[in-house]
Amino acid sequence: MHIIVCISNVPDTTTKVKFSSENTSFDDSGVQWIINPWDELALTRAMELKEDTSNAVSNVTVVTVGPAGAEPTLRKALAIGADDAIRVDSETGDAHFVAAQLASVIKNGEFDVILCGIESSDYNGSAVGGMVSEMLDIPSVSAISGLRIDNGEVLITRDIDGGREEVSVPAPFVGVVQKGIAKEPRIAAMRGIMMARKKPLQVVPVVEAEKLTTYQEYVMPEPKAPCKMIEADNVKELVNLLQNEAKVL
Amino acid sequence: MSVLVYTENWDGKFKKLSYELVSYASAVAGMIGGSVTALSIGNVQQDELSKLGAYGATSVLNVDGAPEGLDNQVYTSIIAAAMEKTGAKVLVMAQNNTGKAIAPRLSVRLKAGLAAGVTALPESANPLVVLKKVFSGKAFAKVKILSDSAVLTLAQNSFEIAETGGSASVESFDPGVDVAGAKTTIKDVQKQEGKLLLSDAEVVISGGRGMKSSDNWGPIEELAEVLEAATACSRPVSDEGWRPHEEHTGQTGKIIAPNLYFAFGISGAIQHLAGVSSSKCIVAVNTDKDAPIFEAADYGIVGDALKVLPELITEIKAARAQ
Ligand SMILES: Cc1cc2nc3c(=O)[nH]c(=O)nc-3n(C[C@H](O)[C@H](O)[C@H](O)COP(=O)(O)OP(=O)(O)OC[C@H]3O[C@@H](n4cnc5c(N)ncnc54)[C@H](O)[C@@H]3O)c2cc1C
Ligand SMILES: Nc1ncnc2c1ncn2[C@@H]1O[C@H](COP(=O)(O)O)[C@@H](O)[C@H]1O
């Protein structure tokens, strides 16, 4: 079984968000780039599955669509344990464009399990995974909080309103993962970092693809009014304010 | 030009979210011209279906047969067939588990630009420009749709329900899709019956590491009961196993927007706020006056959550009794 994890290269989640050129582009000066948190969990789970040899996972590949500046993030994924990496050499575009690049890479390989995150933490697109599956005309399962392999059968736990389901799905398929898929993201060890330098990282050119959307402008949220402080021995006043001022009780 | 809105049902019933979606779809139709058709899949009674008319749908397409559980490919085909039948240019869905699972597939199938997590009416109709959250709520972006058609998923609780007092005709619709061809097989379902869903709750009572131990959740549950609220928590709390992981809110957990959010012993890390900052009113109780939660909160108490909670329960009960 061969797993591919789609990695979105995103600003560290504590980044102070700023925009430039009249709010038409994200200002990435001084930004630390990381593996999108859900993709990191997906990769962690893929490594766990590979390590248990009974699962017969032969290979874990990581792929990103992005410029050369995204390579340190791919190297980090290799350091965590991925066997090889692919970078589609492109500025990231809209979700449809990115998904088409990924679909092309996946079509050219032999992948059984394609893992994506539920969203990129920067643009919150929640789009690419589902789009890839539709382009490849293969099944997709979303909201995945657990994934195991039992005698070659892939068994998925997915969250539904008020509960969870266990689902089986034939390979190849796209799994869109969220929290729970792995407990903690795996951190690269020194040995992994050393080994990552020698692992294959292939750069492939873009394929022609349409963009269906574009980000026109960014808007910062309205600054909010300062918090009203209430003395700890005056809880009654809090209840009064919630009832009569905020009118939420 | 018309708008199709997919209204999911829960055991044959619609909920507030469904009416938000229809209200939104009808406001969009008002801007681009045309009417709203609602699509329902699965077993829903006639009187429940016709309720959608009161929020602006002029017709309802009802697909009786549906696979057990969500099969993304089957649902995509059914909704695509309804888009074709109605000739709609805009598809409106919810930004929930179902919407996130199938809207991207529909975007590809229909060659329709997707804007996920839309929070307001379009800025302009032609070209279609919509506002959505980016950077987990730290900013908004105006997304321009470049294609002829569009798929919009609406962020929950971001649009006021508006009753139009209209009525809808209900038509049964055969999408010509092989429901038996579903590739996903449901092996097992575990549901917590009767529990108020976090995503549906108007009031949410949440606890963080400042609550010290799972043994201290009694008053949080009691307050939730008094206020008919749902309970939630920060990530370390669910990681510790003090609370189930479904309760964790934040960037990597559930994103909610209730009317009222109580944060007891939660520091207010940016990743936590990403899941709750759209709440209409936030109340924070924290021993540290400099905790970042107070920058996001509307009302705050510097104090011990374990002491404030019982007093709050008493005061709310007293206020209610009046
Ligand atoms: C990639 C990434 C994603 C993340 N996603 C999430 C997420 O989705 N959701 C999330 O919650 N976190 C998330 N986190 C973790 C986040 O950064 C914080 O660590 C976490 O939110 C802190 O939880 P907390 O406020 O409960 O605990 P702490 O930060 O330990 O805060 C406890 C607070 O309780 C107060 N306190 C102590 N005793 C009392 C008392 N008796 N009464 C009242 N107050 C008291 C303290 O002053 C303190 O402010 C994420 C982190 C990363 C790196
Ligand atoms: N540029 C990219 N390269 C590779 N994978 C991506 C890229 N953008 C998004 N993805 C994948 O798609 C998921 C959802 O991203 P998005 O649709 O951007 O919110 C991410 O978690 C990744 O798994």
B157-179 average pLDDT score: 92
- Neighbouring C-beta atoms of residue A183, cutoff 10 Å: 13
Mean pLDDT to the nearest integer, B293-299:
97
Name residues 102-121 of chain A within 8 A of B (Cβ). 118-119, 121
Q: Is the per-residue pLDDT at A149 higher than 80?
A: yes
The ligand minimizing its distance to the Cα of A128 is 2
3-state secondary structure of B153: strand
Q: Per the CB < 8 Å rule, is A219 touching B97?
A: no
Joined tokens for residue B41? 């899949």
* Region of A81 on the Ramachandran plot (φ > 0 left; ψ -120 to 50 alpha; else beta): left
Beta bridge partners of A215: B143
Tell me which H or E stretch contains B82: helix B72-86
3-state SS class at B20: helix
Indicate the helix (H) or strand (E) that contains B191. Answer: strand B185-191
**pLDDT value of residue A79:** 98
Question: In which band, very low, low, confident or very high, does the pLDDT at B322 lie, cut at 50, 70 and 90?
Answer: confident
- Cβ neighbours, 10 Å, residue B132: 24
pLDDT at residue B1 greater than cutoff 80:
no
* pLDDT at residue number B139: 94
pLDDT category, B67, cuts 50, 70, 90? confident
Q: Interhelix angle for A128-136 vs A95-107, to 10°?
A: 50
Q: What is the value of ipTM here, to two decimals? A: 0.93
Inter-chain contact A248–B239, Cβ cutoff 8 Å?
no
Q: How far is the CA of B293 from the centre of ligand 1 (A)?
A: 10
Please give the Cα distance from A222 to B165 (Å, whole number).
Answer: 34
Which structure tokens are listed for A243? 């009832």
State in Å: Cα B51 to ligand 2 middle: 38
How large is the average pLDDT for residues B38-58?
96
Contact B255, B274 (CB under 8 A): yes
pTM above 0.90, yes or no: yes
Q: Do A121 and B97 touch (CB under 8 A)?
A: no
As a three-state string, the secondary structure of A76-94 is: HHHHHCCCEEEEEECCCCC
pLDDT of B245 reads 85
Expressed in angstroms and rounded, the spacing between residue A241 Cα and the centre of ligand 1 is 26
A183 touches chain B (CB under 8 A): yes
Nearest CA to ligand 1 atom 11: B234
| pLDDT score of B285 | 98
Kindly report, residue by residue over A38-73, the tens digit of the pLDDT: 999 999 999 999 999 999 999 999 999 999 999 999
Q: Residue B17: which of B145, B246, B205, B198 has the closest Cα?
A: B198
* β pairing state of B185-191 and B230-233: unpaired
User: Which residue from B318, B320, B307 is spatially nearest to A233, judged by alpha carbons?
Assistant: B307
Name the CATH topology of A2-220: Rossmann fold (3.40.50)
What is residue B289's predicted lDDT score, i.e. its pLDDT? 97
Pairing of strands B203-207, B185-191: unpaired
Residues of B in contact with A217 (CB under 8 A): 141-142
My answer on whether omega of the bond before B236 falls inside 30° of 0, hence cis, is no
Q: Which of A3, A6, A60, A106 to mutate to test the pocket of ligand 2 (most atoms within 8 A of CB)?
A: A6
Query: Which bin fits A44, alpha (ψ -120 to 50), beta or left (φ > 0)?
Result: alpha
The average confidence (pLDDT) of chain B is: 95
Which pair of tokens denotes residue B131? 């506002």
Give the binding-site residues of ligand 2, using a 6 Å CB cut-off: A 6-8, 36, 38-39, 63-66, 92, 95, 98, 102, 116-117, 119-120, 123-129
Q: For atom 30 of ligand 1, which residue has the closest CA?
A: B209
Residues of A numbered 9-48 whose beta carbons fall under 8 angstroms of chain B's beta carbons: which are they?
13-15, 17, 19, 37-38
Distance from CA of B35 to the nearest CA of A (A): 24
Does the C-beta of B67 come closer than 6 Å to ligand 1? Answer: no
Query: For A188-220, how does the pLDDT look when each residue is reduced to its tens digit (9 = 90+)?
Result: 999 999 999 999 999 999 999 999 999 999 999
CB contact under 8 A, A127 and B199: no
Instruction: Please check whether residue A229 touches B, CB under 8 A.
Output: yes
Q: Determine, for residues A246 and B73 on separate chains, whether the beta-carbon distance falls below 8 Å.
A: no
Q: What is the pLDDT at residue B55?
A: 97
The pLDDT score that the predictor gives to residue A97 is: 98
User: Which of these, A145, A142, A184, A154, lies nearest to A49 by C-alpha position?
Assistant: A154
Is residue B57 over pLDDT 80? Answer: yes
Task: Answer yes or no: are the C-beta atoms of B243 and B220 closer than 8 Å.
Answer: no
pLDDT reported for residue B158: 85
Q: What SS3 state is found at A135? A: helix
Separation of first and last alpha carbons in chain B: 53
Question: Chain B contacts of A215, Cβ < 8 Å?
Answer: 141-144
C-beta atoms of A238 and B116 within 8 A: no
**What separation in Å is there between the alpha carbon of B272 and the centre of ligand 1?**
7
% of chain A residues with pLDDT over 70: 100
pLDDT at B157: 82
Starting from the CA of residue B153, give the closest ligand: 2
Going from N- to C-terminal start, the domains of chain A cover 2-220
Identify whether the C-beta of residue A45 lies closer than 8 Å to the C-beta of residue A154.
Answer: no
Check A227 against B281: CB less than 8 A apart. no
Token representation of residue B202: 């108007």
Token pair, residue B5, equals 């809105």
Q: What is the mean pLDDT of residues B14-26?
A: 96
**Which among B105, B192, B251 has the least Cβ separation from residue A133?**
B105
The neighbouring-strand residues paired with A34 are: A10
Give pLDDT, residue A193. 96
CA distance B274 to B253: 9
Closest CA to A249 of A235, A233, A231: A235
Q: Is the pLDDT of residue B66 over 90?
A: no
Domains and CATH numbers, chain B: 3-181 (3.40.50.620), 198-321 (3.40.50.1220)
pLDDT at B195 over 80: no
Average pLDDT over residues B134-145: 93
Question: Above 90 in pLDDT, residue B23?
Answer: yes
pLDDT higher than 90, residue A37: yes
- The model's pLDDT over A229-243, given as tens digits with 9 standing for 90+, comes to 999 999 999 999 999
B114/A127 touch (CB, cutoff 8 Å), yes or no:
yes
Q: How far is A51 from chain B (nearest CA, A)?
A: 23
Of chain B, the percentage scoring pLDDT greater than 70 comes to 100
